[in-house]
Amino acid sequence: MPSMPQTNGADSVSLGQPSFLHDLRAFLKEWIRLNWMDVLLMLTIGALSMCVYYAPIKVVRTFPITFNGSGDIVYPEWAYPYRGWILPAWFSGLVSILGPILVYLLAQVRIKSAWDASNAIMGTMWAVSLGTIFQVTIKQLIGGFRPYFLDVCEPDISLARRHNKTGLNAVGFQQVMYTTEVCTQTDTWRLKEAVTSFPSGHSTAAFAGFFFLFLWLNAKLKVWADHKPAFWKLALTMSPLLAAVMIACSLTIDAAHNWYDIVSGSMIGIVMAVASYRSTYAAVLDWRFNHLPLRETEPFGYECDIVTQTVTRSVGWGRGVHGFNEPGERDSRDFCGHDPTEAQRSDIGETGVGGRPTRRAIARSYHRAGELGT
């Protein structure tokens, strides 16, 4: 990392001064050097996902159907009317990425760390990218019938005599099992969508993006930490889960997915979010470290006591003994500077390495001054 100028409260660097632009250019140069391969790989995964998504279906599934005098249809759960989707797939993916990114950028008003913003944004995109390639591959190779499948298929069992390349039409018990060869639907894309229900891509993207945001908010607001948080922090932290559930469950209204499609897609998204968060931050639920972004260039020291890069200012988090992010370090306005994790400090009583006060000492000093913060 190129060295960044250290500042203090008296001579802080404003955003309009040349030194900030110099720091910003240095940051961007270093960011590209460290992340260009990740960006290229994500683009490759995105392109591969599109290729898999638009590839023809090779798996042949059978479905039961029979007509009699009463007009009964076997498996009526696949006979819902096709009514389109309340939320298009592209919209779900876009919201699941841009929504969290907007929160990360707004939080930088208080966190003031370009590297933290970078890790949060990249981590979210990792989660959504990995979730996407997983779900489209499973859709293609496993798939399943959507609740509106029969309405789209419009089967004519008399076609089984002429269209039976698979040999799987009019088979099984009482010959009630058929394949899509008996469908009269001429729109091949709509028919393909109707047989690729499992798992839900909407749910995967929603939980990949918003569950990552949930973990990030929990870390930055220190909701599950060493003190009782304000209720608004808990409510704000849980709100991404509400957003993800709303997106996922909207698919039951328009009958675009079965319940098990939604659950499986959600689980894929959660796994990818947790894996991506732990790959970009020092911990997932360990409140001592889960707010600290990891770096590619050096290992993280888990013996340190670092209070910076949180949104909350409660009980000594996110503020130093002089009101800045970290005691003895650069001003909180050094947006493009190094992470304070580079100076790894041990929690030794009331002071750390070099005599710097720990968070407990900082909290006590603010408590005595009556400035606990939020």
Per the CB < 8 A criterion, the answer to whether 319 and 373 are in contact is: yes
Give the strand pairing for 63-64 and 177-178. Answer: antiparallel
CB-based contact 241:210 (threshold 8 Å): yes
* Mean pLDDT computed over 32-61: 94
The pair of structure tokens assigned to 26 is 């240095």
Instruction: Note the pLDDT of residue 332.
Output: 38
CB atoms within 10 A of CB 246: 12
Burial category of 29 from C-beta neighbours within 10 Å (exposed 0-12, middle 13-18, buried 19 and up): exposed
Nearest Cα to Cα of residue 129 among 195, 50, 55, 56: 50
pLDDT number for residue 71: 52
Per-residue pLDDT band for 66 (boundaries 50, 70, 90) equals confident
The neighbouring-strand residues paired with 348 are 351
Residue 356 belongs to some domain of the structure:
no
The model's confidence at residue 23, banded by pLDDT at 50, 70 and 90, is confident
pLDDT at 333 over 50: no
76 lies in some domain: yes
Q: Which residue has the tokens 């499992």?
A: 198
Residue 358 has pLDDT above 70, yes or no: no
Classified as helix, coil or strand, 196 is strand
Residue 134 confidence (pLDDT) above 90: yes
Q: What is the pLDDT of residue 372?
A: 55
- The boundaries of the domain holding residue 41 are 30-280
Q: Is residue 336 part of a domain?
A: no
| 146 touches 193 (CB < 8 A) | yes
Q: Could you tell me if residue 369 is inside a domain?
A: no
Residue 252, pLDDT > 60, answer yes
- Identity of the amino acid at 158: S
Helix (H) or strand (E) holding 177: strand 177-178
- Confidence (pLDDT) at 226: 86
pLDDT at 106 exceeding the cut of 60 = yes
Q: What is the mean pLDDT of residues 116-131?
A: 97
State how many domains the chain has.
1
pTM of the shown model: 0.82
In a domain, 15, yes or no: no
- Average pLDDT of span 24-52: 94
75 located within any domain: yes
Residue 261: inside a domain, yes or no? yes
pLDDT of residue 336: 58
Residue 192 lies in a domain: yes
